[in-house]
Amino acid sequence: MSLDESSAPGILTIDLSALAANYGTFKRQTRAGCDVAAVVKADSYGLEVSRVIAALENENCPFYYVATPEEALKIRPLTKRPVAVLDGLFPDMADFYIDHHLMPVLNRYEEITAWHQACKAREIALPAIIHFDTGMNRLGLGPEETERFIAEKDRFDHILIEKIMSHFACADEPGHALTPAQAKRFDEISRHFPQAQKSLCNSYGTFAQPDYHYDEVRAGMALYGLNPLPAQENPVKPVVSLEARILQTRPVKKGMNAGYGATYRFEKDTALATVAIGYADGFLRSLGNKGTLYLRGQPCPIRGRVSMDLTTIEVGHLDPLPQVGDMAEILGPHQSADDLAADAGTIGYEILTSLGLRYQRIYI
Ligand SMILES: *Cc1c(COP(=O)(O)O)cnc(C)c1O
């Protein structure tokens, strides 16, 4: 017997045509001439970066962002397009970036100096992105470094300032005052860099803040199917579906308990099914006694704690009762990653980037 769908505890299906369609939705959302760059950090939010890049290359995606040099190195052979490293220029790594054709996002004054010196030593001028922090206080040049760089920028004649960027802190909260304040600050900085492309929006910003698209948006979560308009119908298609196998079923009586710690006590006679998914698969333990799986479209609440490999759900209300080998829907038509995240007290991003390694992965 070969190990295939019949042996997999879970089946993770990744719909690359939906991902390509979502890229098209970003294109339609932005004006002609605005680039839609793809953010493919963290293995494309857990979906496997080589597959995702192949799909995006077909859509003529012009630019890729990753978080780390190692991620950049992995995708460097997969595309001729520029690959930029959001975490910045790590100390003493300028030659590595140059040798491997990686573009740094320069987040600190020292990184700007280091890039300039490395380029100058080779008597070339190479592109970089300058990241200005406009109010998130995470990465990028702070207010003093920004003033200093604006005053001294002509000295850095071995850096081609291809883009300037910043990042919204609150683009997911409609009407938040910080968003226009950050854009205003970005406009003030932008005036000093007339030749550079300007980039400010992530997915939320792209869909909720059409005034701030500038020359490029950075598409992440909504490419992968998460909803960039939390209070509205999702404008993008789901990309991920996930199901897991029922390993055992059993009747339970009122007063019996389920799982580690006996944290759930049944209030009536019913039936339980034990499903082959647990926190080692990225099925978060916080879903214990909170989340829901679906069988034949019917909600089946999680009873008891999620354990490493297993989760128990109540199924007594199903007629006929489910059988060993039936597959329970974790993510699919009845439950999005955003829905599951809400039950787990987290965000869809964490559901995707936690997706485990034991599923059989199917790319369609
Ligand atoms: C991760 C990231 C993005 C993409 O954000 P989404 O919310 O997933 O669209 C864009 N810009 C920067 C700087 C990021 O770190």
Task: List the Cα angle 189/190/195 in 5-degree steps.
Answer: 140
> Both tokens of residue 49?
């970066």
pLDDT of 188 over the 60 cut:
yes
- The pLDDT score that the predictor gives to residue 326 is 97
Residue 160 alpha carbon to ligand 1 centre in Å: 23
Distance 42 CA to ligand 1 centre (A): 11
Tell me the per-residue pLDDT of 292-318, one tens digit each, with 9 for 90 and over. Answer: 999 999 999 999 999 999 999 999 999
Ligand 1 centroid from CA 218, angstroms: 6
**Do strands 240-252 and 327-331 pair parallel, antiparallel, or not at all (unpaired)?**
antiparallel
> Would you say 329 and 285 are in contact if contact means Cβ atoms under 8 Å apart?
no
Measured by CA distance, the residue closest to atom 11 of ligand 1 is 202
Instruction: Kindly report, residue by residue over 321-333, the tens digit of the pLDDT.
Output: 999 999 999 999 9
Is residue 211 within 8 A of residue 183, CB to CB? The reply is yes
- The residue whose CA is least distant from atom 3 of ligand 1 is 202
When pLDDT is averaged across residues 219-226 and rounded to a whole number, the result is: 98
Closest ligand 1 atom, CA of 165? 13
Please give the pLDDT value at position 286: 98
For position 6, what pLDDT does the model report?
A: 73
Sign of CA dihedral 287, 288, 291, 293: positive
Q: pLDDT tier at 174 (50, 70, 90 boundaries)? A: confident
The pTM of the full predicted model, rounded to 2 decimals, is 0.96
Cα(8) to centroid(ligand 1), Å? 33
Question: What are phi and psi for residue 258, nearest 5 degrees?
Answer: -130, 130
Nearest to 293 by CA among 314, 319, 278: 314
* 223 close to ligand 1 (CB < 6 Angstrom): no
Bridge partners for 328 per DSSP: 244
C-beta 37 within 6 A of ligand 1: no
CA distance 199 to 162: 11
Count of CB atoms situated within 10 Å of the CB of 241:
22
- Check pLDDT > 60 for residue 2: no
- Evaluated on CA atoms 116, 89, 61, 58, the torsion sign reads positive
pLDDT at 3: 63
* Whether residue 203 has its Cβ less than 6 Å from ligand 1: yes
User: What is the mean predicted confidence (pLDDT) over 20-31?
Assistant: 98
- Please choose, from the candidates 204, 209, 210, the residue with its C-alpha nearest in 3D space to the C-alpha of residue 223: 204
Q: Tell me the pLDDT of the chain averaged across its residues.
A: 97
- How far apart (Å, rounded) are the C-alpha atoms in residues 263 and 130? 51
pLDDT of 194 above 80:
yes
- Per-residue pLDDT of 246-268, as tens digits, reads 999 999 999 999 999 999 999 99
| CA of 167, closest atom in ligand 1 | 13
Q: pLDDT-derived band of residue 63, with 50, 70 and 90 as boundaries?
A: very high
If you average pLDDT over residues 99-105, what whole number do you get?
98
Residue 64: partners with Cβ closer than 8 Å, 6 or more residues away: 37, 38, 39, 40, 53, 56, 75, 79, 81, 82, 83, 84
Ligand 1 site-directed mutation target among 86, 106, 137, 353, most atoms within 8 Å of CB:
86
Tell me how far apart the alpha carbons of residues 288 and 183 are, in angstroms, rounded to a whole number. 41
Nearest CA to ligand 1 atom 13: 167
Is the confidence at residue 139, as pLDDT, over 70?
yes
State residue 206's pLDDT score.
97
Distance from Cα 197 to the centre of ligand 1, integer Å: 17
> Whose alpha carbon is nearest atom 6 of ligand 1?
220
Which residue from 36, 136, 199, 202 has its CB within 8 A of the most atoms of ligand 1, so it is best to mutate? 202
Tell me how crowded residue 24 is: count the other CB atoms within 10 A of its CB.
13
- How many CB atoms neighbour CB 108 within 10 A? 16
Mutation choice for ligand 1 from 85, 173, 218, 234, CB with most ligand atoms inside 8 A: 218
Q: What are the catalytic residues?
A: 41, 260
Q: How remote is the CA of residue 118 from the centroid of ligand 1, in Å?
A: 28
For residue 202 and ligand 1, the question of a CB distance below 6 A is answered with: yes
Tokens of 317: 């209300």
Confidence of residue 7 (pLDDT cuts 50, 70, 90): confident
Alpha helices, DSSP H, located in 193-266? 203-208
C-alpha–C-alpha distance, residues 107 and 99, integer Å: 20
Residue of 22, 30, 65, 131 to test ligand 1 pocket, by largest number of atoms within 8 Å of CB: 65
245 lines ligand 1 (CB under 6 A): no
Query: Which residues are 38's β-sheet partners?
Result: 64, 219
